Amino acid sequence: MAASLAGCGAIKPAALPPPACPGRADGTFNVLLFSRTAAYRHDSIPDAVAALQSLQATGGYQAAVTENPEAFTAEGLACYQVVVFLLTTGDVLDDTQQAAFEAWSNAGGGYVGVHSASDTEYDWPFYGEPVGAYFLQHPATQQATVHVEAADHPIVTAAGLPSTWVDTDEWYDFRTNPRPLVTVLATVDESTYRGGTMGADHPISWVHATPGGGRAFYTALGHTSARYADPLFQRFLVAGLRWAAGK
């Protein structure tokens, strides 16, 4: 399918006011969960938000949730150590909001992108840096085999990922292979499913440092609601959040 046209999803809700800063308890960090969509909207967004909210205590973070791009100001972003583009699609920020995010990121802010975060902001060159690669297309949701590549990376060890596992998801192909610019955490084996187009080297989760000294974590996993009830995927997301926050 073409970029930003991944299917039919739920109706977009009306935007609520930007969230108040959640404050910080000792030893915790603040996370902004941003799930605005301007194209396809995943039915799994409420489950993704609920899962990350439920994991706050075990993850050592405090989360605010918004679909309002007006949260992207210098003052608004200053509250957060990590911003999660959670199943976002399309052009979700205007020029002023993009500039605020760029300044925040260049000051060391941490980025986490989940699934269709790579189907977001194609015409904003800066966004390509933290996300690492843009979505191209995907076949039907189906089972495939995933291989861990960076077995010693803190995210992999903290999440307890097995070296190989079988999973069901929407296996994204990307416009470019991010490998030259990132550390690949996991790949999907195209010989185990139908419709992949990237070949023998098909990264699906990766990390890298951003130009401003921050950290970026992206995973293409996370299409279905069932993913967010899976303890393995929950641990993977929390470990990614903590790594992006420098924890």
Q: What is the pLDDT of residues 132-191, one digit of tens each?
A: 999 999 999 999 999 999 999 999 999 999 999 999 999 999 999 999 999 999 999 999
CA–CA separation, 110 and 148 (whole Å):
23
Task: Tell me which DSSP letter residue 175 carries.
Answer: S
**Is the per-residue pLDDT at 6 higher than 80?**
no
Q: Give CA angle at 109 (106, 115), nearest 5°.
A: 110
Q: What is the pairing mode between strands 61-66 and 183-189?
A: unpaired
CA–CA separation, 47 and 29 (whole Å):
22
Residue 15 is predicted with a pLDDT of: 62
- Give the pLDDT band (50/70/90) at residue 21: confident
- Those residues whose C-beta lies under 8 Å from the C-beta of residue 81, and which sit 6 or more positions away, are 29, 30, 31, 109, 110, 245, 246
**Is the per-residue pLDDT at 55 higher than 90?**
yes
Name the nearest CA neighbour of 83 among 234, 210, 233: 210
SS (H, E, C) 118-129: HHECCCCHHHHH
Where do the DSSP E strands lie in the chain? 29-34, 61-66, 82-86, 110-114, 135-137, 142-148, 164-169, 173-174, 183-189, 203-209, 215-219
- Give the pLDDT band (50/70/90) at residue 17: confident
For domain 29-135+205-244, give the fold: Rossmann fold (3.40.50)
Average pLDDT over residues 39-48: 97
How crowded is residue 5: how many other Cβ atoms within 10 Å of its Cβ? 12
Domain ranges in the chain? Answer: 29-135+205-244
**Is the per-residue pLDDT at 89 higher than 70?**
yes
- Give the pLDDT band (50/70/90) at residue 4: very low
- Cα–Cα distances in Å, from 10 out to 26, 43, 69, 138, 222? 38, 5, 19, 19, 16
CA–CA separation, 97 and 72 (whole Å):
5
**Is the per-residue pLDDT at 78 higher than 60?**
yes
**Is the per-residue pLDDT at 16 higher than 80?**
no
- Give the pLDDT band (50/70/90) at residue 20: confident
Residue 8 is predicted with a pLDDT of: 41
Average pLDDT over residues 15-41: 87
Length of the chain, in residues? 247
Give me the residues paired with residue 187 across strands. Answer: 147, 203
- Cα–Cα distances in Å, from 95 out to 18, 69, 72, 125? 18, 11, 11, 12
